A and B are shown apart, each in its own frame.
Chain A
Amino acid sequence: MFSSSLGKKYLMALSGLVLIGFVFVHMAGNLQVLLGQAQINAYAHSLQSLPWFILWGSRLFLLAAVLIHAFTAYSLIVENRKARPNLNEIEATKRAGLASLRMGLTGSILLAFIVFHLLHFTIRTIYPEYAEMMTTVGSPDGTEIHDAFLMVISGFKHDVISVFYVVAMGMLCAHLSHGFSSVFQSLGLRSESWRAKIDLVAIGYAWIIFVGFSIVPLSVLAQKHGIYEFYDPSFFSQEVEEKSLSTNLLNNES
């Protein structure tokens, strides 16, 4: 089923579809940062307290989708290079857009971004202190839970990191604008009359994802540089991170 050239396209389309759905849910989750500390912390806590088999089941499912998508893409690209070893003296195009021609480039950048993002906010190896951020705000029963809000604000206060996140979301936007419509083409789920509509939905979806994801880092940067106050200003004073960290460390020691 998946060994032929078309089989690989089905794999790309199906794994891509999983990731297309995931980014929307992730984006909707992220936007709760705008609703304040209690909202996002409660949401993050509810995800973290899912039964282990659901939490790890979903994580492994998504990891499998990323790995299948990346490895199949690699094998397709290797085969395609072999199929056309000699380039034309002039390489011209009539219809293909940059987004479709550069799927490999945008995909590679996204893969690097996913690794960085997991190390940054999920595994927290880049800034291990993020794991120490605890609060009772948003906790369902008053016990201390992880302060996802403080972590996000602290994470996006770094100009370079925030800009990298926004650039990566630009890559995702380009990747989706071709990938979304390609799902329907590769699985054969479209006709000539549907093509224009699907292409339009693909571009709309790509932009919604781009804007939805970029709002959070951009709003933090905007507040840091005094452009607009989105969040509680106390999170932007110099001491807040150090204070919350030191209290946590004291609590741990006692």
Chain B
Amino acid sequence: MKLTLKIWRQNGPSANGSFESHTLDGVSEDSSFLEMLDQLNEQLLGEGKEPVAFDHDCREGICGTCSLTINGHAHGPEDSTTTCQLHMRKFRDGETVTIEPFRANAFPIVRDLIVDRSAFDRIVQSGGFISVRTGSAPDGNAIPISKVDADNAMDAAACIGCGACVASCKNASAMLFTSAKAAHLNLLPQGQAEKDERAINMVKTMDEAGFGNCRNYGECSAACPKDISLDYIAKLNRDHAKAKLKKIFS
């Protein structure tokens, strides 16, 4: 395959970025999107140019490190797929592919296609934990949990924190991520002790980080490589309202 790649280049956080076009020949249809970028970087190095900086780690679709907005879609046009699991056979020979970083004020660009997603870490730090007693390890299965709750919590915990929800949202809202992280613990008995504080604090940290407001488009869930449901956003809305009301009347 021969491709024209239109790639966002930016030297640093405060530098002005712009698009740069490169032609890449001999791309295998069986290569992944990231392998295609590796091939481009080999070519750039051969020409004595600076390679394109992009995030990647496991390349198995489970770590949430890879990002990229490809032709306007976070993680590319395929559903339920991370960029590392996107294959070049999904593109046409001769196609122009536009590659941009995840764009959001709360995700400042570090370099080229790499963005700083540490705002997500701050949201998790503010409520994505439970308190347990230290000492001897508790017995496995000591706390009975219904199958429905366990499955539901597991679906929320499937979030890999890649940030595609923010990048695909026209308002850069982090509600899908925050609600999945909150619901995962709020659904389980172990998470009940801090449930109200969790809902309030995680939303507060999310707001402070400069994410936008959810407008119920559903783009986040459509772009999510793990198909996190909008249901969790409704649940966080509900948990947050209940927590606030309890605070007012307590």
Contacts and interface: CB of A to CB of B under 8 A. Distances in A.
B6 A95 contact: no
B213 A86 contact: no
Contacts of A112: none
Contact of A95 (B204, B215, B219): B219
Given A84-B170, A93-B219, A5 B234 contact: no
Given A100-B217, A188-B239, A80 B171 contact: yes
A7 B241 CA distance: 8
A69 B192 CA distance: 34
B11 interface: no
A190 B234 contact: yes
Contacts of B235: 188
A4 B238 contact: no
A162 to B, nearest CB: 32
A9 B72 CA distance: 27
Given A84-B103, A185-B230, A95 B218 contact: yes
A82 B104 CA distance: 9
A6 B217 CA distance: 15
Interface in A174-216: 178, 181-182, 184-192, 195
A101 B236 contact: no
Interface in B194-230: 203-204, 206-207, 210-219, 221-223, 229-230
B69 interface: yes
A10 B239 CA distance: 13
A6 B237 contact: yes
Interface residues of A, number: 42
Interface string A67-94: 0000000001001101111111111111
A83 B238 contact: no
Contacts of A31: none
B231 A83 contact: no
Contacts of B223: 94
A192 B106 contact: no
A1 interface: yes
B173 interface: yes
B84 to A, nearest CB: 20
Interface of B: 6, 8, 19, 69, 71-73, 77, 79, 98, 100, 103-106, 168-173, 203-204, 206-207, 210-219, 221-223, 229-231, 233-241, 244-245, 248
18 contacts: A1-B248, A5-B214, A6-B237, A80-B173, A80-B213, A83-B173, A88-B69, A92-B72, A94-B73, A94-B219, A100-B216, A100-B217, A103-B215, A186-B237, A188-B239, A190-B231, A191-B231, A195-B231
Given A6-B203, A80-B213, A100-B215, 12 more contacts: A1-B245, A6-B240, A76-B213, A80-B173, A83-B211, A83-B212, A84-B103, A84-B171, A86-B103, A92-B73, A95-B217, A188-B237
